[in-house]
Each structure stands twice: as structure tokens, then as C-alpha cells.
Amino acid sequence: MTEVLALIPARGGSKGIPRKNIRSFAGWPLIAWSIAAAQQSKYVTRIIVSTDDEEIAAVAREHGAETPFLRPAEFAQDKSTDLPVFEHALNWLAEHEGYHPEVVVQLRPTSPVRPCGLIDDAIQILLDHPDADCVRGVVPSGQNPHKMWRFDDPKQPMNPLLTVEGIAEPYNAPRQILPPTYWQTGHIDAIRVSTILNRHTLTGDIIYPLVIDSKYTVDIDTLPDWVKYEALVYSGLEMVSPGKARRPMPDSVKMVVTDFDGVITDGRVWVNGDGVETVAASRSDSMRIRQMRAAGIEVMILSSEVDNVVSARARKMGIQAIHGMGLDGKGEVLKNILAEKNLNAAEVVYLGNDFNDLPCFDVAGWAVAVADAYPEVLRAADYVLKTNGGFGALRELCDLILKNK
């Protein structure tokens, strides 16, 4: 059996997005996505995170990776290259553990969106081609480099970046007759260890491609990237996930059930001297209720607490409210509601924010969380809204469902 090491480089000094490797991405630390990808491989026999940071190491261990060493600081600088990181890890493992893998797989945390089976596909290509030094993941390039230019002085003539045999002026040619080109991504490199240790290169000379569908092209470098690619995770794209597989929005929705505190409200409560409570909610949540009803979709509030404000707000919105079942009873109550209304759970959407909503997530066909839900809820959700509770989260969900009708 071929010994395959998955090595995940994750230094602590990120500047563009501070602490990005352990920042929550779609409910999970960013690094957990790459660990999960390695865990689902049938070939990978060991998963190690190379980091210089104790906190990153602790999070990596929590999600199933090993951190037998901390990377020396000289290999964790802004301009540090990958080769010394891999040489250090492989030499350390050989010296301290007598461990000698034959293949090492690089999984960059900043490319967390990977199709199922990607790692095994790369390793299989390497094993099937004894001449290969490395297999690298690539996607079709968005821009053709044969139409690119280079110059040192903008006041002087420029030159084409590339030439093409048989095409005199590729920069003037239709793209359809130009050779296809590919962009390397951070999804995966599968490398023979001998290439790294004996030849001191991360790729060698013979590099085979693993062509990846361009819809998985993800390289997180900025906060706008982060927001964009979190939305991709919630789009229903099939991918490796640290948690359970996320379900897509049902084709048919018959009912939306929503929590109250922290969803319809922002979770805060004002109490006057007489003990009367006041909460804050968004009027925009009511705006789509009529359209939902016209589309044959019922909207209901399900709240654990007995509170007059729940009933009052539900009346104002023109929807039913059931409340007062306590923290542990919401899941069973939701099951009973569906039975009484003869509804298929697969056609029910639940919107929540806190741990007592998790039983309802298990009942409903699609589980949705507000943007500021608790981490456990974000991880369990099939979809996370862009809006915080109390600021129009239900409106956003209604818009999404009606758009999908």
C-alpha cells in the first residue's frame, strides 16, 4: 500500500485576512475544509498541518489532523515559499518518527471548495504514470494569455507575452483557434516525495494535469473573496464539507416556520420598571407575507417562550404563532404541526438562530440560519442568510423562495 501524506500549510501571520485559517467559513474554521477533504480520501493515510501558530494547531487537532511539530518562524514569513515548508516537514518526520511517505498531497486552506473524489483522482493519476513527478489541479483559464502583452516602459513598444507556432499574430486571432490554456489552483498537488527531497523541487519536470470544473475555482485572498465564496458553498454545489452534506432549497415549498427571538427580533430586550418587555423587529419582514400566501406558502412563528409580544407581532404580520413549548420541545411540536396539516417535511423550511432550533433543523426539509446565528447553528444549516436577526432576515428568506418559484 502506498503511504500518502496530506500536508496542509497554514501559517498564522496572514495579512490580507487576519487569522483566516481559523476564521469561520460557512460555519467551520477555514482549515477544517481541507482536513475534511483529506479525511474522505481512500488513499490518504495521514493528515498533518504545518503551522507556526499554536491556536491554528489546536483547531487542526480538533478537526482530526495531526500537528507533531511547529513550523520554524523562518519558514512562515510573508515571502516564504512552499518548498522549504515541505522539506522541513518531511525531514522532521523522517528524523523524529522514521516516517517515509511515498506521496505527499498539498491542500491549501484558501481553496476550500473541492469536488468529492478530487484527491483520489489526483493520486490515481500519479500512480498510473510512473514518469510523473507531480499532478497539479488546474482549471480552464478565464483569460487567454496568447492575447496578453508585456513591457517595461509604457512609453516604449510592447511585445506579445506568448507566440503560437503556425499562427503569425495570435493576439489578433479568434480565441476559438488558439490553444486552450489552464490556470493552476490551490486545490491540490500530488507529489512524489523523491521529487522534493532528492531534486529539491515541489513539482519536478513532468507535471500531469488534473482538470477541475471551473465552478470550483476558489482562491480566497480578500474579504470580498470570502463573502463571494461562502455564497457558493450555500448555492447547493456538491462538494466536500466538514459537516453533513448541505441540502438544496426544495423545488416545492409549502410552509416556512421561523423562530422569533433572534430571528424576527435582534435578540435584545428592553424592560421597563414594571417588568414590561419591548423588542425590536423589522417591518420589512411583513412585506412579503401576502405574496407568500398567494403562492400557496404558509408562514408561521414557532417560539419556545410564552410571551405576549410574540402573539402581538404575529397578529400584526398576519401569521400564526405557536409558543410556550419550552427550550427542548420545538422539534416535536414541529412534527405534530406537519402531521396535523398533512405536510411533507421535505417541503418545509425552518429559519432559526440558536441551539434550541437544531431539532427543527432535523425535521424540516431545508434548514436556514440568520447571519449572526450561533456557530453550532451555522454549521448545521443548509443555507445561511446575509441578514442578521431582527433586520429583515425573514424578508430575505421569502424573497429567496419566491424568486425560486
pLDDT 10s digits, 21-35: 999 998 899 999 999
Instruction: Please state, in angstroms and rounded to a whole number, the distance separating the CA atoms of residues 88 and 63.
Output: 23
pLDDT at residue 238 tops 90:
no
Do residues 307 and 271 lie in contact, with contact meaning Cβ atoms separated by under 8 Å?
no
For the chain, what is the mean pLDDT?
Answer: 92
**133: CB partners within 8 A, 6+ apart:** 191, 192, 195, 199, 201, 203, 204, 205, 206, 207
* DSSP alpha helix (H) spans, 30-178: 30-39, 54-62, 82-97, 118-128
Instruction: Please state, in angstroms and rounded to a whole number, the distance separating the CA atoms of residues 92 and 96.
Output: 6
pLDDT 10s digits, 267-303: 888 888 877 778 888 889 888 898 999 999 999 999 8
Within its chain, how far is the Cα of 335 from the centroid? 30
CB contact burial 91-110 (16+ within 10 A = b; e otherwise): ebbeeeeeeebebbbbbbbb
Tell me what pLDDT residue 404 has: 82
Tell me what pLDDT residue 326 has: 64
Q: CATH second-level architecture of 4-141+181-233?
A: Alpha-Beta Complex (3.90)
pLDDT 10s digits, 171-223: 999 888 899 999 998 899 999 999 999 999 999 999 999 999 999 989 899 99
Tell me what pLDDT residue 325 has: 67
| Residue 329, helix vs strand vs coil | coil
Per the DSSP assignment, residues forming a β-bridge with 321 are: 301
pLDDT at residue 155 tops 90:
yes
pLDDT at residue 236 tops 80:
no
Task: Give the whole-number percent of the chain exceeding pLDDT 70.
Answer: 99
Q: What's the DSSP call for residue 88?
A: H
**Where exactly are the structural domains of the chain?**
4-141+181-233, 144-178, 255-404
Domain 255-404 has CATH 3.40.50.1000: yes
